[in-house]
Amino acid sequence: MTYLGLDVGGTHTRAVLHDAAGRELARATATGGNPAARGAPAALAVLAEVVARTVADPGAVRGCLLGLSGVSALADPDGFAEACRAAFGLTVPVRLVSDAVVAFAAGAPAAPGGTVLIAGTGAIACRIAGTAVTERAGGLGWLLGDEGGGFWLGREALRHAHAHAHDHPADPLGRAVLDACAAPDPAALLRWAYDGPPHRLASLAPLITELALTGDPAALRITESAAAHLAALVAALHRDDAPIVLAGSVATAPGPVHDGLLARLRAAHPAAPLTVAGDGAAAAARLAAAAG
């Protein structure tokens, strides 16, 4: 008897196989396998391949759970789950849950519920009860919001660079952005922003974090503002003393956003256990076993 968990992200998919005692038997990683991002056929191919590398005996799998961002927006979640079961060669149903459920379980394995903040390119906070998302804050995507996430950080960096492109002496953040975009002047900066896919702005986020670590005032203002936006997403949902879990590179990578966020969350929710999400795929396998 084995249990299979998958953590399906936009850029990485991770699969883990547990035995009945919760010991890890196998693990594999692949590229992003999200049907919302890639279309169902391409996503299924990625998932089937990573499962084939993880599971030697599909007939022995007693439970399978798949954490997926945007699961609530899938046109036909039941159809996709059944297609996964068939593609994986399983005899048990595949269960789809929100990636927020898996992220929460990866940070607070024993808790029946609480709040999880996921800040990577986007930014969303979710209230979790069991394997259900009961409330959301943020998560509107790059076009409409996601303040404090990687796209937002990159956009703030670009706005700053545009405003200060002609300063003398040159401002460090502005110069770093102009260099990263290979832009000699403000007009070239705008062309860089508009000629590529919008999410490319998120690639500038690490510049801000690096410069903030050197004490650059402009970068520190932006990271502090990101921390405030992210803490506000949690505050919009969090109640009682349930755990708060942080997930996603912007919220969890060591540095000024993470530090500022921790400080704000500790001040606002002093009794809530505060953790960083661990291994999502292992959490998905644990959830599969708990449900199986």
Q: Which residues bind a copy of itself (CB under 8 A)?
A: 72-73, 140-141, 143-145, 155, 158-159, 162, 187, 190-191, 193-194, 198, 201
Say whether the peptide bond before residue 197 is cis (omega within 30 degrees of 0).
Answer: no
For the bound state, the minimum distance from the C-beta of residue 144 to a copy of itself, rounded and expressed in Å, comes to 6
For the bound state, the minimum distance from the C-beta of residue 216 to a copy of itself, rounded and expressed in Å, comes to 21
* Of residues 69 and 275, the one with the C-beta less far from a copy of itself: 69
Q: Is there a contact between 233 and 138 (Cβ–Cβ < 8 Å)?
A: yes
For the bound state, the minimum distance from the C-beta of residue 248 to a copy of itself, rounded and expressed in Å, comes to 19
Of 72, 123, 106, 109, nearest to 237 by C-alpha is: 123
* Of residues 193 and 207, the one with the C-beta less far from a copy of itself: 193
* Of residues 53 and 200, the one with the C-beta less far from a copy of itself: 200
Taking phi over 0 as left and psi of -120 to 50 as alpha, with beta for the rest, 134 belongs to alpha
For the bound state, the minimum distance from the C-beta of residue 159 to a copy of itself, rounded and expressed in Å, comes to 6
For the bound state, the minimum distance from the C-beta of residue 235 to a copy of itself, rounded and expressed in Å, comes to 15
* Of residues 187 and 263, the one with the C-beta less far from a copy of itself: 187
Q: Is there a contact between 123 and 247 (Cβ–Cβ < 8 Å)?
A: no
Q: Which amino acid is located at 289 in the chain?
A: A
Neighbours of 61 (CB within 10 A): 24
* Of residues 109 and 198, the one with the C-beta less far from a copy of itself: 198
Q: Is there a contact between 71 and 77 (Cβ–Cβ < 8 Å)?
A: yes
| Rounded Cα gap, residues 94 and 290, in angstroms | 14
